[in-house]
Amino acid sequence: MSLQHFSHQHPLVFIESHGHEIEKVNCSGCGKLVSGSSFACVECGFYLHKQCTEAPAEMDHPFHRNHNLNLLTRNPYKIGTSTCDFCQKPCKNFVYHCSCNLNFHIKCALFSHSIAEKGNAEFQDISRIDPLINTGNVTEELKKAECFACWKPLLDSVYFSPNCGFYLHAKCLDLPAEINHIFHQEHPLFLQFNSQRLSCKICQKPQRRGFVYCCSPCKFALHIQCATIPTKINQPFHRKHPLILQSVDECLPCQICQETTNLNDVVYFCSICKFVLHIRPRMPPPPLPQLLPSRYRRCGVPSRGTIKGAIFKDIVKTIAAATTTAAFSRHSDVI
């Protein structure tokens, strides 16, 4: 059996399996050692894994709706190397490329594509690890690892076994492909690679890596975490009115940390009373009060003493509860 592959001028011959008689060779597609079946032009020393041979020359990727990705045999840039937009490692061999500067290893393009098709058999075979239960064997690498979808620490929640080579939270596999959000009511937001390098409209911070929820024509993007923040909360320290997540065109002190907000910051706000709270941190709340100083980055410790400890605990609990119950809503019905 032989075939003509776009990456090589000669026909490639099928090799059933690579035994000891063949010296170790690397796949020209992914750079990894060839094992199992492959296609090869032995004269030229050109080998491709069967899976790399079968990778489509053009891919319609659900996380990049604007254009198709094209499989190139080499780095598309005249100067510099390309970095994979999924795993962030350099792409030295074949690369799925889009002219808006997106690049992926073959396996990263295929794996991220299969994230969109949840329930995929690929994910059933990978074990899920709960960091709260599985506390042994946590390497330094795992402690530093971040999820390829949200770029938050991997050990924050249940994750897929790193044996699969991909760092991914189980919850990030289950993200809806499309949401509606009150901040952009004109169009739905799609889970996409952030090819336009848009900053998040809630926290104003950029995110180059991983996924964002975005409306590409309007250049509107939200981080995964920011998209899940409740847009309205009831708060024991301000019982008269609910607090609404919104951009505020005044500089007012946050009622927890007393730090003055910047112009047009998105905060929890009661416009009647001019009551402002910074957005809580996106992570599940730590046990109080020990971890407060490091985790509550923006709202820190109620250092200037306007709020007594017990009330402060109440506030944090309420915001935390609201966040965990709100989750995603297709219609942003939290408000």
Which residues lie near Zn ion (CB under 5 A)?
10, 27, 29-30, 41, 44, 49, 52, 66-67, 84, 86-87, 98, 100, 105, 108, 147, 149-150, 169, 172, 186-187, 200, 202-203, 215, 218, 223, 226, 240-241, 270, 272-273
CB of 327 to Zn ion, least distance (A): 14
- The half-sphere exposure of 4 on its side-chain side, counting CA atoms within 13 A, is 2
Q: Which is nearer to Zn ion, 288 or 318 (CB)?
A: 318
Q: Which is nearer to Zn ion, 89 or 303 (CB)?
A: 89
CB of 261 to Zn ion, least distance (A): 16
Q: Which is nearer to Zn ion, 17 or 290 (CB)?
A: 17
Structure tokens at 99: 């002219």
Distances (CA, A) of 162 to 83, 117, 144, 158, 220: 20, 20, 13, 12, 32
Token pair 């949200």 is found at 150
CB of 95 to Zn ion, least distance (A): 9
Q: What is the dihedral of CA 102, 108, 114, 119, to 10 degrees?
A: -140
Q: Which is nearer to Zn ion, 98 or 292 (CB)?
A: 98
Q: For the chain, report the end-to-end CA distance as a whole number of angstroms.
A: 61
Beta bridge partners of 232: 244
332 torsion bin: left (phi>0), alpha (psi -120 to 50), beta (else): left
CB of 287 to Zn ion, least distance (A): 22
Distance CA 316, CA 298 (A): 13
Distance CA 38, CA 56 (A): 16
Q: Which is nearer to Zn ion, 76 or 301 (CB)?
A: 76
Structure tokens at 106: 């073959």
CB of 289 to Zn ion, least distance (A): 26
Q: Which is nearer to Zn ion, 108 or 256 (CB)?
A: 108
DSSP 147-210: -TTT-SBGGGS-EE-GGGS---BHHHHT--SEEEETTEEEEEEEEEE-TT-PBBTTT--B--SS
Strand order through the sheet with 2-3:
2-3, 12-15, 38-41, 46-49
Q: What are phi and psi of 144, to 5 degrees?
A: -90, -15
Structure tokens at 239: 């019982």
CB of 127 to Zn ion, least distance (A): 17
CB of 131 to Zn ion, least distance (A): 13
Q: Which is nearer to Zn ion, 85 or 257 (CB)?
A: 85
CB of 135 to Zn ion, least distance (A): 20
Q: Which is nearer to Zn ion, 70 or 120 (CB)?
A: 70
